[in-house]
Structure 1
Amino acid sequence: MTKNKERASEHEHEPTVYVVDDDLDMRDSLQWLMRTVGLQVEVYPSASAFLEAFKPGGAGCLVFDVRMPGTSGLDLYEELVARGEGMPVIFMTAFADVPMAIRAMKSGAIEFVEKPFNRQALLDRVQRAIKNEVERLHLKADREAAQRRFRLLTDKEREVLALIKDGQPNKAISATLGITPRAVEMRRAGLMKKLEARNFAELLRLSIEAEAAVDA
């Protein structure tokens, strides 16, 4: 097992900065820089080395050099996007040009920096990207959890839920569905328990999260 793989295993739940640059001095410099502020960092000399070790699913930020022998940083990120990996990326280059910058932004880059760059400015960008990515993943997890809970509902409970969301009280729901108020109360209690909603506000929030997970 390589050192990078060992670090990945030990810190797989920590947000990680993944640096891919064919310049050894730049890799060492960026590794040191990220560690000065307590960031977990892994460095790779090529796209192939990165792809061999990378485990998707966690939070983090990609810092890719654009121009590298073999697969470029842009090609590498486009490959990750094609695989469904949406981690934020910051591209670095010593030879910027407009077409390259446009392609980088269209690929999903949040930043495009020219070497040499201000170290603190780069750190700020990386930390901001990680913060946003952590929040995005938490929101995604909440939505998926809400969707799993909604799958537990019976069709009858879903009927009641739809009318609750329309603002109908129990008596109106009873009349609409042709069931007793007691049956409405039982279905309402059942769906609230399954969704782990303590009140109407939580019920609405969970509904929104579940619907967002379907649309995502």
Structure 2
Amino acid sequence: MAILARDIRLSKAPLVAIVDDDEAVREALSDLLVLDLPCRTFDRAEAFMAEYVPGRFDCLITDVSMPGHSGLDLLQRLRSIGSSMPVIIVTADTNPTTRLRAIGGGAHAYLTKPVSGAALLSHLQSALRWVGPSSNVD
């Protein structure tokens, strides 16, 4: 299932940020997306926030458990500064409380590893169609 800019009516290809401390996961997610969507990878939440500028990224895919700030901390930080960028959590954490915190905090989706490429792409496509008024949607 390919996500193409024409399928989601964007004036430019969306840029997806991937934040995960596991290099193999970052590479796998990047490889999954790279044919259709440009993406940037970051090894921790702090590295992402150091480069974050409102409107630069169209969607964020992040893990929950990482050294330093967690993916939930990152989600909370983005919401606290007014970002409505869709956030997709991809994690091995199956704790229902963590899932509720993520969804309650504004995550677009909470997917547990191992996640199929088709499921992730489906949620990503949904997130990119959902982006708010500050996005690149026509």
Question: How do 1:61-140 residues align onto structure 2 when only pairs under 5 Å count?
Answer: 61-133=59-131, 136-137=132-133
Q: Secondary structure at the match of 2:34?
A: helix
Query: Helix, strand or coil: the match of 2:48?
Result: helix
Confirm or deny: 8 A CA contact 1:59 1:130 kept in the other structure.
no
Could you tell me which amino acid in structure 1 is paired with residue 18 of structure 2?
A: V
SS in 1 for 2:133: helix
Letter in 2 for 1:107: G
CA distance in 1, matches of 2:130, 2:81: 21
Q: Give the residue type in structure 1 aligned to 2:88.
A: I
Distance in 1, matches of 2:99 and 2:46, equals 23
Which ranges in structure 1 are unaligned for 5 or more consecutive residues? 1-12, 143-216
C-alpha distance 31-102 of structure 1, shift in aligned 2 (>3 A): same
Higher helix share: 1
For 2:29, the equivalent position in structure 1 comes to 30
Name the counterpart of 1:18: 17
2-side partners of 1:14 and 1:51: how far apart?
Answer: 21
| Aligned partner letter, 1:132 | W
Give the CA deviation at 1:53.
Answer: 1.1
Aligned to 1:161: none
> Deviation of residue 14 (structure 1)?
3.9
Distance in 2 between residues matched to 1:138 and 1:24, nearest whole Å:
31
SS at match of 2:100: helix
Separation (CA, whole Å) in 2 of partners of 1:41 and 1:21: 13
Alignment match of 1:42 (pick from 23, 40, 43): 40
Q: Tell me the percent identity.
A: 37
CA displacement at 1:118 relative to structure 2: 0.7
- Runs (5+) with no aligned partner, structure 2: 1-11
The answer for the alignment partner of 1:57 in structure 2 is 55
Number of residue pairs matched by the alignment: 127
Q: What is the SS of the residue equivalent to 1:112?
A: strand
RMSD: 2.1
Matching residue's letter, 1:31: S
- Give a deviation string over 1:48-77, Cα, whole Å, max 9, x none: 110111221246111010110110000011
**Other structure's SS at 1:90 match:** strand
Q: Which amino acid counterpart does residue 130 of structure 2 have in structure 1?
A: N
Query: For the residues of structure 2 that align with 1:79 and 1:138, how far apart are their CA atoms?
Result: 18
- Report the TM-score when normalising by structure 2: 0.84
Larger radius of gyration: 1
TM-score for both structures, normalised by structure 1: 0.55
Contact 1:21 1:45 survives alignment (8 Å): yes
| Contact kept? 1:20, 1:47, Cα under 8 Å | yes
Distance 1:100 1:131 in 2: 26
